[in-house]
């Protein structure tokens, strides 16, 4: 059985709190190992270690910091297959999906390598009589990231790569449900030449989270998880004077117009709704066909596709999706399906009884499809985070647009249509942070930025892209004047140009 502690001072260390948690192999239900749960004192030690190392790292020029990330990328690529296998076995997603998890993290590391350009300030010659002005971006110091179970490689890299590139030291608190990959990524950063202490990993639960939020030396905190916890993290950290951005839950809609290619739309819904067993914050969980005929045509295509999905162990190369992350989460998703039935939604495909021969103890669930879901139902209002797709029928484009915009979550949305006017209008008016046009999962590329609206995000800066550089740096503006041989005496009025 594997025992995982923490990564502090450039090496793995055993936990000292006396508390630990089991983590599982979702495809079999077996316990894989235990992970230490840090005490507040252990978190503090990691912060002190980071604070001691950070000034020398910040003093390195940005190009030298970028070179560490370049070497890190080489090491990750060499271990790509083993990292994907470790990730799949701990999380439950298929190995091809795990490879995508790692690759989308790599994309952000590649963006962060451009930090010598991204951190450049501005300069104005002659801003006033013999006065020049310039600005510079400087690191914050010690920063932290609290990341979720569903992307144990991607989101840690989204957090620590730009932070470290900017000259900060980073405290990572990953999910205790699948801790192996974040620990290995930290080791690879050290192998790439990162000084000890610049990236520390503390595993833990709420005790570790609260210690991070309260620590006086942590200047910024990034979080990804449920909206309830995101709001808690944002409020507690912000009241302690920290810079915070938190990304929460989602209920992503896909609008299908009457002129859409129905086969394309159905395939997009299947992949976006059931990929990774629906455990994605950008999963499409609501289909909104416009018009009864559109809805009927869509259902005709969805049902046979869903019934033919292949659910299998993470190691099955032909599996469309694998098990859910824990037995508790599996039961939670099944409970939501039962709620939907009681609320009066039509359950067209019921995957709750799925069992995989030879893997009967695994955390598997078949795909579920609801039709005639209404906006007052809990299965519509709340995030399920499982392989459950709801169809909400809209009678007009305006009704569909309002449905998406009125929901309390505003992470991602999509419209499928051949009509350029409808697509342009939707992209302009919909009250959601990320929009796809004939693209079901509109996760922006690394040189843009990722972030939702409303209760999907707390804070005014998004993840990765240019916003990450702004988040992990502070701006200093310098006004200079050199003596010109002319003295005017003391000036008491507010300076003007």
Q: How far apart (Å, rounded) are the C-alpha atoms in residues 226 and 237?
A: 16
Q: How far apart (Å, rounded) are the C-alpha atoms in residues 413 and 439?
A: 9
Nearby residues of 206 by Cβ (< 8 Å), 6 or more positions away: none
Could you give the angle at which helices 154-165 and 62-78 cross, rounded to 10 degrees? 160
In this structure, what DSSP letter does residue 385 have?
Answer: -
Please, what is the Cα angle at 295 between 291 and 300, to 5 degrees?
Answer: 150
Helix residue ranges per DSSP H, 239-381: 262-274, 292-307, 327-343, 378-381
Q: How far apart (Å, rounded) are the C-alpha atoms in residues 23 and 7?
A: 18
246 classed as catalytic: no
Q: What is the 3-state secondary structure (H, E, C) of 255-281?
A: EECCCCCHHHHHHHHHHHHHHHHHCCC
Q: How far apart (Å, rounded) are the C-alpha atoms in residues 268 and 385?
A: 18
Nearby residues of 72 by Cβ (< 8 Å), 6 or more positions away: 109, 188, 189, 192, 194
Residues in the chain: 497
Q: How far apart (Å, rounded) are the C-alpha atoms in residues 238 and 21?
A: 29
Contact 281, 455 (CB under 8 A): no
Q: Which residue has the tokens 């963006």?
A: 111
Q: How far apart (Å, rounded) are the C-alpha atoms in residues 124 and 416?
A: 47
> 3-state class of 52 per DSSP?
helix
Contact 254, 413 (CB under 8 A): yes
Q: Which residue has the tokens 């209760």?
A: 455
Q: How far apart (Å, rounded) are the C-alpha atoms in residues 275 and 248?
A: 19
Nearby residues of 371 by Cβ (< 8 Å), 6 or more positions away: 295, 299, 345, 346, 348, 391, 393
Q: List the beta bridge partners of residue 170.
A: 143, 199
Q: Could you say which of 166, 246, 281, 368 is catalytic?
A: 281
Nearest CA-CA partner of 279 in 411, 456, 35, 92? 92
Q: How far apart (Å, rounded) are the C-alpha atoms in residues 288 and 400?
A: 7
Contact 201, 5 (CB under 8 A): no
Q: Which residue has the tokens 């252990």?
A: 42
Residues noted as catalytic: 281
């Amino acid at each position: 059985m594997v025992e995982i502690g923490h990564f502090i001072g450039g090496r793995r260390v055993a936990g000292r709190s006396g508390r630990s948690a089991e983590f599982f192999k979702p495809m079999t239900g077996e316990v894989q190992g235990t992970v230490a749960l840090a005490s507040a004192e252990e978190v503090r030690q990691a912060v002190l270690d980071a604070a001691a190392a950070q000034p020398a790292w910040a003093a390195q020029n940005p190009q030298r910091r970028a070179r560490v990330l370049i070497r890190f990328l080489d090491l990750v690529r060499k271990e790509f297959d083993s990292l994907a296998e470790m990730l799949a076995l701990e999380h439950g997603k298929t190995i091809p999906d795990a490879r995508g998890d790692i690759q989308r993290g790599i994309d952000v590391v590649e963006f962060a390598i451009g930090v010598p350009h991204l951190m450049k300030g501005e300069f104005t010659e002659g801003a006033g009589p013999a006065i020049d002005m310039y600005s510079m971006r400087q690191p914050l110091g010690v920063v932290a990231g609290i990341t979720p179970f569903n992307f144990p490689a991607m989101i840690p890299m989204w957090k620590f790569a730009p932070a470290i590139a900017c000259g900060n030291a980073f405290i990572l608190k990953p999910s205790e449900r699948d801790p192996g990959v974040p620990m290995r990524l930290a080791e690879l950063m050290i192998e790439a030449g990162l000084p000890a202490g610049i990236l520390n990993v503390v595993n833990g639960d709420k005790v570790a989270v609260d210690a991070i939020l309260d620590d006086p030396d942590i200047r910024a905190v990034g979080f990804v998880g449920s909206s309830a916890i995101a709001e808690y993290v944002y409020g507690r950290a912000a009241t302690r004077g920290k810079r915070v951005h938190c990304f929460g839950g989602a209920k992503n809609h896909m609008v299908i117009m009457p002129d859409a290619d129905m086969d394309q739309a159905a395939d997009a819904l299947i992949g976006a709704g059931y990929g990774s067993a629906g455990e994605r914050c950008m999963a499409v969980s609501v289909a909104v066909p416009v018009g009864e005929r559109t809805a009927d045509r869509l259902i005709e295509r969805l049902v046979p596709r869903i019934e033919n999905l292949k659910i299998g162990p993470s190691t099955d190369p032909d599996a469309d999706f694998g098990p859910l992350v824990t037995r508790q989460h599996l039961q939670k998703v099944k409970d939501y399906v039962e709620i939907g039935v009681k609320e009066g939604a039509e359950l067209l495909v019921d995957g709750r009884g799925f069992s995989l021969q030879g893997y009967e103890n695994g955390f598997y669930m078949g795909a579920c499809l609801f039709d005639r879901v209404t906006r007052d139902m809990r299965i519509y209002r709340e995030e399920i985070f499982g392989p459950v797709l709801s169809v909400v029928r809209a009678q007009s484009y305006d009704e569909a647009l309002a449905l998406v915009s009125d929901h309390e979550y505003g992470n991602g949305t999509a419209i499928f249509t051949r009509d350029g006017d409808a697509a342009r209008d939707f992209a302009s008016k919909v009250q959601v942070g990320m929009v796809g046009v004939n693209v079901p999962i509109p996760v922006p590329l690394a040189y843009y930025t990722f972030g939702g609206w409303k209760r999907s995000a707390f804070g005014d800066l998004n993840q990765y892209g240019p916003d990450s550089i702004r988040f992990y740096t502070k701006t200093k503006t310098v006004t200079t004047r050199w003596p010109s041989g002319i003295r005017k005496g003391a000036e008491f009025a507010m300076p003007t140009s």
